[in-house]
Structure 1
Amino acid sequence: MEQTLGHKQALPERKVRSMEEFLERFPEVKEVIFDGTERPVQRPKDSDKQKEHYSSKKKRHTRKHITGSTRKKRVILLTKARAGTVHDKRQLDEADLVGNIPDEVVIEGALGFQGLQNEFENVHLPHKKPKGKKLSEQQKQENREFSRQRVVCEHAHAGIKRYRSVTDVYRNRVPDFDDRLMLNAAGLWNWYLDAA
């Protein structure tokens, strides 16, 4: 199935090596929306692995991916699966996806990617509430509008998770098989969008 989805160019890219490669592969893309998604895994018996996979955000043991989606809900970028404790920004930095996206392509993300806007000029994030202060009404309105535009990445995640193999608790012990399941589920979702 993975080969077929690859021939149909439905699989998301795992690594973009240069800006030229990005423009060649995705010439029509004007915005990329980054967000993290987690899936539950069986609780490891080893205490070190338990700490490694425990996600404080989800209050359970998880594996995490960062996706890059378009406004049309297509998933074009997907990182390798990592343990649930890894922070979104750290995982995105280690995957080195943002550095190879051209400046004319707008990058949007959640507050989990705070600090990315200081490194790249084409990154847009919502306003963060200052410590001990409040956001102004204008900032709140801008955050609402930003959220309305960014929600398509959540719709893309919901489309991927239609396939129960990436939603249910993962119990398989084959190394990196969960990563391939996510890749194929994203490819099937993209293929579904192309056919619709």
Structure 2
Amino acid sequence: MHRSVAHDWVHRLQPVLEAARGQKMALPERKLNSIEAFLERYPKVKKVIIDGTERPIQRPKNPEKQKLHYSGKKKRHTRKHLAAVDEKKRVLVLTQAREGKIHDKRAHDEDDIAGSIPEEIPIEVDSGFLGLQKQYDNIHVPHKKPKRGELNETQKADATDMSFHGISHAHQAKENHLLSSSRVICENAFAGVKRYDAVSQIYRNRTLDFDDRLMLTAAGLWNWYLMAA
């Protein structure tokens, strides 16, 4: 294929590929509105890891768009997705692409992935979702101490309570290590999705939300690879 026609063919074939993955039930859901919907779609899932993934984009010319897309975490302009991954590295849910500046917790509050997951299924998240454990009982989040700071009174009370129940700081560190080791499944899933250069290289296409469709298709291809393995 000559490079001069590659752009046209990508736009013509991407919807076909997406539809094919949808028929094979390989595409992630964009949103699940109830626990019943989750159980119907994913009856055998035993664990869910929720995390965000970002991809670099070309620096917008508009100053306002520059601010919205600048990710302080990545130190560059990005677009972001939240994803829910199961213990087999399958992408279950992939949210719509958002500006890189949006915090993971805020993005989750708008989509509420955890709200559609049954309480008996543990949900593991990183410290970017701190506070989510107050909304749902099945959230597992790392213990965190403020950077160059001290615990506030509530956190100190929690720490004292943990010590009273025999949960030492060393034990908390061990729990963090185990949680981190478990959450690496999500990173492996993202790495599998981003084997496709279209969702890992700097995005320069100006077609509205086409990057979102590419990420959905790439996640569907990754799920299909796992199903065929």
Name the TM-score class by shorter chain: over 0.9
SS at match of 2:150: coil
- How far 1:85 moved relative to its partner? 0.3
In structure 1, the partner of 2:66 is 50
Match of 2:195 among 158, 162, 176: 162
In structure 2, the partner of 1:17 is 33
Asked whether 1:31 is paired with 2:47, we answer yes
In structure 1, the partner of 2:129 is 113
- How far 1:141 moved relative to its partner? 1.1
Match of 1:138 among 166, 171, 177: 171
SS at match of 1:68: strand
Q: Which has the higher helix share?
A: 2
Moved over 4 A (4+): none
In structure 1, the partner of 2:113 is 97
What's the TM-score, normalizing by structure 2?
0.83
- How far 1:154 moved relative to its partner? 0.3
The answer to whether the Cα contact below 8 Å between 2:80 and 2:100 also exists between their aligned partners in 1 is yes
What's the TM-score, normalizing by structure 1?
0.97
- Taking the aligned partners of 1:80 and 1:194, their CA distance within structure 2 comes to 24
- Taking the aligned partners of 2:114 and 2:176, their CA distance within structure 1 comes to 22
User: Which residues of structure 2 form unaligned runs of 5+?
Assistant: 1-16, 152-158, 160-167
- How far 1:132 moved relative to its partner? 2.4
- How far 1:98 moved relative to its partner? 1.3
- Taking the aligned partners of 2:178 and 2:121, their CA distance within structure 1 comes to 19
- Taking the aligned partners of 2:140 and 2:174, their CA distance within structure 1 comes to 15
Match of 1:76 among 89, 92, 101: 92
- Taking the aligned partners of 2:142 and 2:87, their CA distance within structure 1 comes to 17
Q: CA RMSD in A?
A: 1.3
Bigger-Rg structure (1/2): 2
Match of 1:148 among 181, 189, 203: 181
- How far 1:137 moved relative to its partner? 1.5
Aligned residues: 196
Letter in 2 for 1:62: T
Match of 1:123 among 139, 142, 150: 139
SS at match of 1:117: helix
The answer to whether the Cα contact below 8 Å between 2:55 and 2:199 also exists between their aligned partners in 1 is yes
Asked whether 1:87 is paired with 2:120, we answer no
- How far 1:117 moved relative to its partner? 0.2
Percent of pairs identical after alignment? 60
SS at match of 2:118: coil
Letter in 1 for 2:100: G
User: Which residues of structure 1 form unaligned runs of 5+?
Assistant: none
SS at match of 1:39: strand
In structure 1, the partner of 2:218 is 185
The answer to whether the Cα contact below 8 Å between 2:84 and 2:113 also exists between their aligned partners in 1 is no
